[in-house]
A and B are shown apart, each in its own frame.
Chain A
Amino acid sequence: MLIHLSSPHIHSGDSIRATMFAVILALMPAGIISVYLFGWLAVFLILLCMFGCMATEFIALKWMGRSTAPVMDGSAALTGLLLALTLPTSIPWWMALLGSIFAIGLGKQVYGGLGYNPFNPALSARIILLVSFPLQMTTWLIPMHLGSSPIDLYDFSSAWQLFVFGASSLPHALDAITMASPLGHVKTEWSQGIGVSEALRAYDYSYLDAFIGREAGSLGETSALALLIGGIYLLARHTITWHIPFSFIATVAILAAIASMIDPNHYTPPLFHMLAGGLILCAFFMATDPVSSPVTPIGQIVFGIGCGIITWCIRTWGGYPEGAMFAVVLMNCAVPLIDHYCRPTVYGKRGGQS
């Protein structure tokens, strides 16, 4: 029986599930690259996080006495996938599971479920894990195809052993199987007085590798190319708009350009920043999370600029090598304020008449 029947009586056909699945599809290239780089370990991590998130949502909804239909709408699965893409591959399985529980339990359901969380759930979980387990969260496995790792991650049993029992169960020393990410490397070198160009040369850094993804980092951070393909798909499908990604990345690039022109020895160039770390992942997939980002276009640009400024500052002067996730969550705090003050000019009220 149809209850309320106000016009309009036709609909575009869009739905929450379609939106979530479109974003998951957009992350598939990054997922494929991560499997290419990290073999079975990537598969385990992604599956565990997705399953962990959906299970947490189911348990939370049951516990609150609510309908468990939202479990299948794709939002928990998406959070799981995004969380997995931000985690380092050598992370213990229980830490990843804990992250999933934090993401959905503390990052989403405690606020009322879908549509009510003020912060990005995947990023809140990552921050909790980073602050609680700083060592494991900044240890990056050497990816396959760089040639220097002794483990074969394409081998199911060695990947399984690493996943379940941790890196200490392997015969190799930790130093042999891990390496620093480009951002981390430059920061530590600078603290030892070594300038940018020297540090990058020692690291054997190449922009092409950074673009395609043959570098150390979390699953999703590595390949800018794969993420851009997904990002462009989402823009074309009109699931996200250009305002946040563009203003976020452009702000970081502009700040880096100005700084590196002033002191190229201290400050890394803009392209390095754009390809390094989780910037592209955060700009296209995290900052654009509709629930925790502003609604209005002007507000979205303000949000993107704020994220960019904070990211660059943390990366350059802060204690952590990567600032994008903190930036997004910090700007999430400002979203209600931004929404209230950045409303578009209503028809007929130009020039302040009202």
Chain B
Amino acid sequence: MIKSFLNKLGFASAPFAGGVTPDMCKWTEDSAIEDCPLPPLFIVPIKQHIGQACTPLVQVGDLVLRGQKIAKSEGYLSVPIHAPTSGRVLKIEEHAIPHPSGMGLTSIFIEPDGKDERDSSLTPMNNWQDADPAELRERVRICGIAGLGGAAFPTFIKLLKDKRHPIETVILNGVECEPFLTNDHRLMVENSAEILHGLHIIMHMVGAKKAIIAIEDNKKDSLLAMQKVLDLADSDAISVASLPTRYPQGSEKQLIESLTGKQVPAGKLPMHVGVLCQNIGTTKAIYDAIIFGHAITDRIITISGDAVPKPANMRVRLGTPMRFIYAQRGLEKFDNIQLLHGGPMMGERMRHPDIPVVKSSTGLLAINNERMKAAHQVEDPCIRCGHCSEVCPVSLVPNLLADHCRNDQLEKAADYNLFDCIECGACSYVCPSHIPLVHYFRYGKGQAAQVRREQSFAEVSRLRSEGRDIRLQREKDEKAAKRRKVRDTLRSESVLNPENDKKTETTSNTEGKK
């Protein structure tokens, strides 16, 4: 209420609600990106994005080049998958993927031949300014680009130039609010020109007139680097915005609120408020796809944590096993160590390091058991202090919501806006009773999804059952009608019918034959 009043007065950049300021631990912020060598075996899962899994195009024994399409997309919400290096397909079978459950998925195993030859079937589009945006969008799709900030949403879907919802502003998300992670930070320092170039391409694709490069104020060198290339380009349409360091500033909805003062309405998308957000890494990937015709085969990953002897940022080929990457940084024994995929606030715990990295792998962390245990203590009763509600960026009341989820009161949980929770973890972070609030929300969402599935299954069953009843009734009616017809015919020609007395003498010969 006060914020919207301030907005009306002209203070456009209203901070988002809540938020926490954990120790940022940006130990690798000054480490230049190093190239990770090729492992002896690549494991490429067929689903590395939000949406439908791909289907393998190659067979065992096939020779592939780097950037060659090895799995094709299925359905609209999907992007193809490419070989990370040149080599031979060893086998295609199920392997563990970066999921907290430890589940597996069909993966394509590639043995590198060491030559690392590229597929050059896609031509560079240096004159992209003259190209049709639809053509550029298709290039982004066939290069397999998905959001590299961690969500892995198929990028081409967002790059639609839709007349009904025109994009006015493109926001480059260089916030990187998770502790430890420094991928985007280093990309902005080292590849600022390419990122600006990528931004221009994006603006052309969606027809946006303005752009903002949003960076947290703890990345002073990134701010300087991006401002420098902007000054060289001398563009009024693009500006660099420095935002206060607060988690989760980098969350798309919160970022839009901070920069424009507008909230994305519930159930709607950023395009409905005329905004498109894009991660820095994704922008660089778009640049590579358009300018060089490179499909996505690698990404920047931060390897850090108190159990890693030599933390760093590395350019890693997709499909590299985590064990290999950790070994590059000096970590080979995994006793009493917990492995995290992503950042510490929203990352998933990996049960073992024999899992490949995928498009959503922003960070590989290794934390000592003791430190992890300190964060995951036995739950005490809720003392209703309200800290969780103070820090929630979506303005929920987490403690009451978790109560409803825990007690399986799913309708009440929905009423308390369970499905607006972005699972950022700020509430669990501050809880003095160490209640795993996000865990209860995930449980609640899972239960609600299960109930929905059962209900839709029950609905389908009910419709089929009703259809069957209708069909049986119809058949019964048809049989009864037929019998009646026969009976009537018989009756009209019967001996007992007085009308037929005259006829019987002439038709009695034919009666027996009926």
Contact of B383 among A4, A16, A294, A296 (CB under 8 A): A16
In the complex, per-residue mask of B415-440: 1 if CB is within 8 Å of any chain A CB, else 0: 01100100101101111111010110
Question: Does the CB pair A15–B432 fall under 8 Å?
Answer: yes
Q: Does A2 contact B373, Cβ atoms closer than 8 Å?
A: yes
Interface centre among B4, B265, B434, B438, by most chain A C-beta atoms within 10 angstroms, is: B265
| Bound-complex Cα distance A343 to B17 (A) | 14
A89–B345 alpha-carbon span in the complex (Å): 51
- For residue A117, give the distance in angstroms from its CB to the closest CB of chain B: 10
Which chain A residue shows the least CB distance to B266?
A348
Contact call A11/B395, Cβ cutoff below 8 A: no
B458 within 8 A of A: no
A300: chain B residues within 8 A (beta carbon):
386
B277 to chain A, nearest CB (A): 15
Measured CA separation A112–B374 after assembly (Å): 27
* Chain B residues with CB under 8 A of A90: none
B84 within 8 A of A: no
A12 and B17: CB pair below 8 A? no
- Shortest CB-to-CB span from A120 to chain B, Å, is 12
Docked CA distance A114–B266 (Å): 36
For the complex, is A29 an interface residue (Cβ under 8 Å from B)?
no
Say whether A113 contacts B346, CB under 8 Å.
no
Give CA–CA (A18, B347) in the complex, Å.
28
Chain A's closest residue to B4 (CB) is: A350
Instruction: Name A7's contact: one of B257, B346, B374 (CB within 8 Å).
Output: B346
A348 to B438, CA, bound (A): 20
Cβ of B429 and Cβ of A114 under 8 Å apart? no
Known: A15-B432, A16-B433. A9 touches B384 (CB 8 A): no
Q: B432 touching A14 by the CB < 8 A rule?
A: yes
Pairwise interchain contact B394-A347, C-beta atoms closer than 8 A: yes
In the complex, the answer to whether A295 meets B384 with C-beta atoms within 8 Å is yes
The CA-CA distance from A345 to B353 in the complex, in Å, is 43
A173 at the interface (CB under 8 A from B): no
Query: CA of A4 to CA of B428 in the docked complex: distance in angstroms?
Result: 13
Q: How far is the CA of A295 from the CA of B389 in the complex (A)?
A: 7
Looking across the interface, which residue of chain B has its beta carbon closest to that of A353? Answer: B265
B372: Cβ under 8 A from any A Cβ: yes
Residues of chain A contacted by B389 (CB below 8 angstroms): 295-297, 344
Chain B residues with Cβ under 8 A from A134's Cβ?
A: none
In the bound complex, CA of A14 to CA of B375 (Å)? 10
Q: CA of A346 to CA of B399 in the docked complex: distance in angstroms?
A: 15
**Max chain B CB contacts within 10 Å: which of A10, A116, A350?**
A10
Is A241 engaged at the interface, CB distance under 8 Å to the other chain?
A: yes
Q: Give the residues from 297 to 354 in chain A that come closer than 8 angstroms, CB to CB, to chain B.
A: 297, 300, 339, 343-350, 353-354
Q: Is the CB of B397 within 8 A of A18?
A: no
B residues in contact with A294, CB < 8 Å: 386
Q: A8 is contacted by which of B1, B4, B381, B429 (Cβ under 8 Å)?
A: B429
Query: Chain A residues near B382 (CB, 8 Å)?
Result: 115
Chain A binding surface SS class: loop
Taking a contact as CB atoms under 8 Å apart, the answer to whether A113 and B376 are in contact is no
Partner of B417, one of A19, A241, A291, A346: A346
Q: Do B376 and A9 touch across chains, with their CB atoms under 8 A apart?
A: yes
Of chain A, the residue at the smallest CB distance from B432 is A14
Total chain A interface residues with beta-carbon distance under 8 A: 42
> Is the CB–CB distance between A16 and B432 below 8 Å?
yes
Q: For residue B436, give the distance in angstroms from its CB to the closest CB of chain A.
A: 6
Do residues A9 and B100 form an inter-chain contact, with CB atoms below 8 A? Answer: no
Q: At the interface, yes or no: B349 with Cβ under 8 Å from chain A?
A: yes
Q: Name the contact of A241 in the complex, choosing from B268, B383, B386, B425 (C-beta under 8 A).
A: B386
Minimum CB–CB distance from B137 to chain A (whole Å) comes to 27
B348 A7 Cβ-Cβ under 8 A: yes
* A5 on the B face (CB < 8 A): yes
Contact between chains at A114 and B380 (CB < 8 Å)? yes
How far apart sit A115 and B383, CA to CA, in the bound complex (Å)? 4
Q: Is B444's beta carbon under 8 Å from chain A?
A: no
> Which residues of A (1-40) have their CB < 8 Å from a CB of B?
2, 4-16, 18-19
Give Cα A297 to B17, complex, Å.
13
Check if A347 sits within 8 Å of B432, measured CB to CB: no
Q: Which of A291, A295, A347 is close to B400, meaning CB atoms less than 8 Å apart?
A: A295
Chain B nearest Cβ from A15, distance in angstroms: 5
A7 touching B266, Cβ below 8 Å: no
Within 8 A of A (CB), among B248-286: 253-254, 257, 263-268
Q: Counting CB contacts under 8 A, is B193 at the interface? A: no
Q: Which A residues are CB-close (under 8 A) to B397? A: 295-296, 339, 343-344
A290 within 8 A of B: yes
Q: Is the CB of B395 within 8 A of A347?
A: yes
Q: Can you name the residue of chain B whose Cβ is closest to the Cβ of A3?
A: B376
Residues of A within 8 A of B268 (CB): 348
Q: Which residues on the A side are within 8 Å of B100 (C-beta)?
A: 5-6
Of B22, B265, B425, which is within 8 A of A348 by CB? B265
Q: Which residue of A lies closest to B372 (CB)?
A: A9
Q: If A114-B383, A115-B381, A345-B395 touch, does A9 touch B375 (CB 8 Å cutoff)?
A: yes
- Cα distance A114–B375 when bound, in Å? 22
Whether A346 contacts B420 in the complex (CB less than 8 A), given A2-B376, A10-B345, comes out as yes
Min distance, Cβ A304 to any Cβ of chain B, angstroms:
14
- Say how far B16's CB is from chain A's closest CB, in angstroms: 8
Which of chain A's residues have a CB closer than 8 A to the CB of B375? 8-11
The verdict on A293 contacting chain B, using a C-beta distance below 8 Å, is yes
| CB-based contact B381/A14 at 8 Å | no
Query: When the two chains form their complex, are residues A8 and B380 in contact, meaning their CB atoms are under 8 A apart?
Result: no
Q: Considering the chains assembled together, what is the distance between the CA atoms of A18 and B383 in angstroms?
A: 13
Give Cα A8–Cα B347 distance, bound, in whole angstroms: 7
User: Which residues does chain B contribute within 8 Å of A115, judged by CB atoms?
Assistant: 380-384, 433
B367 & A9 in contact (Cβ 8 Å cutoff): yes
Tell me which residues across on chain B come within 8 A of A354, comparing CB atoms.
Answer: 266
| CA distance in complex: A345, B344 (Å) | 28
Residue of B nearest to A10 (CB): B344
| Shortest distance from the beta carbon of B165 to any chain A beta carbon, whole Å | 16
User: Does B50 sit within 8 A of A, measured CB to CB?
Assistant: no
Interface residues of B in 473-499 (CB under 8 A from A): none
Residues of chain B lying within 8 A (CB to CB) of residue A339: 397, 400
Interface check B212, CB cutoff 8 A: no
- A residues 80-121 near B (Cβ < 8 Å) are 112-116
Minimum CB–CB distance for A299 against chain B, Å: 9
Contact of B386 with A19 in the complex, beta carbons under 8 Å:
no
Contacts of A113 in B (CB 8 A): 381
Q: List 16 A-B contacts (CB under 8 A).
A: A7-B342, A9-B372, A10-B179, A15-B434, A113-B381, A115-B384, A295-B384, A295-B389, A296-B386, A296-B397, A339-B400, A344-B395, A344-B397, A346-B394, A347-B254, A353-B265
Extra contacts besides A6-B436, A7-B425 (8): CB < 8 Å:
A2-B373, A6-B100, A8-B344, A9-B372, A12-B20, A115-B383, A346-B420, A347-B257
CB-based closest 8 A-B pairs: A8-B425, A115-B381, A6-B439, A348-B266, A290-B385, A11-B375, A344-B395, A14-B432
Question: Interface residues, chain A, CB within 8 Å of chain B?
Answer: 2, 4-16, 18-19, 73, 112-116, 241, 290-291, 293-297, 300, 339, 343-350, 353-354
